[in-house]
């Protein structure tokens, strides 16, 4: 449409200078007709229900970082006249050194990021619209907080207090952050707030899709409030709210920083589709981008982006610049350089010194009795995490994982193989996992090991 309008304007200038006024009327009419058609098309999209997309980047990330969040944003902004899209810089971004150091460390601006995303939704929402939330790192935490606000407070009706939207958003945010049991999402206070200030609850899940890359903040994120001092901004829990239809998260196996403990997305009882996949690599490789000119393994970065796009396509409805086959060609794990020099050196160190390597990301081992982690049958329901990255020997050389290898040894000690002789991944069911926890347990009379090429 932009190209058509530019052509019309050029044609208009040419006709005006060369052929006189009788051509001008036709061109003005044609240009006005194009604008009218565009306006009608936009109004029809509002009537049908539009997409409202909020994309929250990670700490110290902005468009120059070229993270997966921003890469996806560029694919969506091409279709902006058909859907509303907002990109939010990560915390720690700004011209002052204070932004980089203090805000980057304690997420001073996190409150404002959450309110900015929620306000964008309030400004554009009409009943039957679909809301899509994406985020990486602290940006993923921000996206989950926005979802939590919607769960707790609904979406503010702009017509109730049209001149005081900012105050209404502040009120809703304060209500969401209040951990008084009377204001819990399932409590009476939450229902009364929504009846007073928000649109009626939708018959369908109001958030169509929640897409996350390695959420930071399992125990909350530190924040500072004037008059209150430091306190943690916590999610109610790690279960996916029932107002979400699809929830997907890519997690890093090789991250070993205690600060980056994984913040899981746990299933609820409402039927939300929850997909969580562990990928090889560290935190910044899962979300992509560069930091201080350093970039992670592009094979992993591309794989997690393609994985997210495929889940978006499966959910359906989000308007992107290209089709899925084009994205598979662009972001296939086999495309792009696999290593820069630092990647290669790091990989070789890991392969040479696997026995003294520190334990990597605390993934939920089968023998771990902690209730906060899912059992392995759910974690591995889609197969071995090595699948998109080639055969085992290559990856065991370059991306050793002490945690994963310990798990594999436990499985194989109990007669359970995670891959077959052709290096194809194996799916297994609950019985197999129960046997891993208790080798003496009798199995139900059926074929306990289901092999399939994934």
pLDDT digits (tens, 9 = 90+) for 430-453: 344 444 445 555 544 332 222 222
Name residues whose C-beta falls within 8 Å of residue 216's C-beta, 6 or more positions apart in sequence: 58, 59, 137, 138, 140, 141, 259, 260, 263, 283
Residue 30 shares a structural domain with residue 55:
no
Q: Give the integer Cα–Cα distance in Å for 334 and 311.
A: 19
Higher pLDDT, 142 or 79: 142
Residue 97 shares a structural domain with residue 160:
yes
CB 361 within 8 A of CB 255: yes
CB atoms within 10 A of CB 404: 24
Residue 35 shares a structural domain with residue 53:
no
Is 346 within a domain? no
Higher pLDDT, 148 or 237: 148
Residue 22 shares a structural domain with residue 60:
no
Q: Give the integer Cα–Cα distance in Å for 28 and 12.
A: 8
Is 407 within a domain? yes
Name residues whose C-beta falls within 8 Å of residue 86's C-beta, 6 or more positions apart in sequence: 53, 54, 55, 116, 117, 120
CATH number of the domain to which 208 belongs: 3.40.50.1820
Beta strand pairing status for 207-213 and 221-225?
Answer: unpaired
The owner of tokens 């449409």 is 1
Residue 301 shares a structural domain with residue 386:
no
The structure's pTM equals 0.69
Measuring CA to CA, which residue among 273, 189, 217 is closest to residue 91? 217
Candidate ranges 5-14, 55-64, 114-123, 320-329; pick with highest mean pLDDT: 114-123
Q: Give the integer Cα–Cα distance in Å for 179 and 169.
A: 18
Residue 319 shares a structural domain with residue 430:
no
Range of the domain at 374: 363-437
User: What is the number of structural domains in the chain?
Assistant: 3
Q: pLDDT (tens digit, 9 = 90+) per residue, 233-248?
A: 667 667 899 999 999 9
Is 383 within a domain? yes
Residue 29 shares a structural domain with residue 53:
no
Q: Give the integer Cα–Cα distance in Å for 18 and 394.
A: 68
Q: Is 131 helix (H, G, I), strand (E, B) or coil?
A: strand
Residue 67 shares a structural domain with residue 29:
no
Name residues whose C-beta falls within 8 Å of residue 253's C-beta, 6 or more positions apart in sequence: 278, 279, 280, 281, 360, 361, 363, 385, 401, 403, 404
């Amino acid at each position: 449409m932009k190209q058509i309008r530019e052509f019309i304007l050029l044609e208009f200038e040419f006709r005006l200078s060369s052929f006189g006024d009788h051509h001008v009327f036709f061109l003005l009419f044609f240009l006005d007709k194009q604008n009218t058609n565009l306006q009608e098309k936009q109004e029809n999209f509002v009537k049908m229900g539009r997409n409202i997309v909020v994309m929250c980047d990670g700490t110290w990330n902005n468009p120059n970082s070229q993270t997966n969040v921003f890469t996806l944003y560029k694919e969506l902004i091409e279709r902006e006249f058909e859907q509303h899209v907002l990109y939010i810089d990560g915390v720690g971004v700004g011209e002052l050194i204070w932004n980089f150091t203090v805000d980057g460390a304690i997420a001073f601006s996190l409150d404002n990021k959450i309110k900015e995303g929620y306000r964008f939704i309030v400004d554009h929402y009409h009943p039957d619209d679909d809301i899509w939330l994406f985020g990486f790192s602290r940006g993923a935490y921000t996206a989950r907080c926005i979802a939590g606000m919607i769960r707790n407070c609904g979406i503010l009706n702009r017509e109730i207090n049209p001149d005081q939207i900012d105050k209404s958003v502040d009120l809703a945010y304060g209500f969401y952050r209040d951990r008084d049991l009377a204001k819990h999402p399932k409590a009476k206070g939450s229902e009364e707030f929504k009846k007073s200030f928000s649109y009626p609850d939708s018959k369908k899940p109001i958030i169509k899709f929640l897409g996350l890359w390695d959420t930071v903040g399992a125990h909350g994120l530190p924040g500072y409030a004037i008059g209150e001092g430091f306190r943690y901004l916590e999610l109610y829990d790690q279960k996916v709210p029932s107002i979400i239809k699809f929830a997907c998260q890519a997690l890093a196996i090789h991250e070993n920083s205690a600060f980056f403990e994984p913040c899981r997305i746990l299933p609820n009882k409402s039927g939300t589709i929850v997909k969580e996949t562990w990928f090889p690599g560290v935190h910044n490789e899962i979300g992509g981008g560069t930091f201080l000119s350093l970039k992670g393994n592009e094979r992993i970065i591309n794989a997690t982006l393609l994985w997210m796009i495929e889940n978006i396509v499966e959910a359906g409805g989000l308007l992107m610049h290209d089709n899925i086959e084009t994205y598979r060609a662009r972001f296939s794990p086999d495309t792009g350089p696999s290593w820069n020099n630092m990647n290669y050196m790091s990989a070789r160190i890991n392969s040479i010194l696997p026995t003294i390597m520190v334990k990597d990301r605390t993934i939920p081992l089968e023998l771990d009795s902690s209730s906060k982690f899912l059992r392995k049958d759910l974690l591995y329901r889609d197969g071995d995490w090595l699948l998109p990255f080639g055969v085992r020997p290559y990856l065991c050389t370059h991306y050793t994982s002490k945690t994963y290898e310990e798990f594999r040894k436990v499985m194989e000690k109990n007669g359970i193989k995670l891959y077959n002789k052709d290096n194809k991944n194996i799916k297994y069911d609950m019985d197999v996992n129960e046997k891993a926890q208790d080798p003496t347990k009798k199995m139900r009379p059926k074929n306990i090991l289901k092999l399939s090429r994934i």
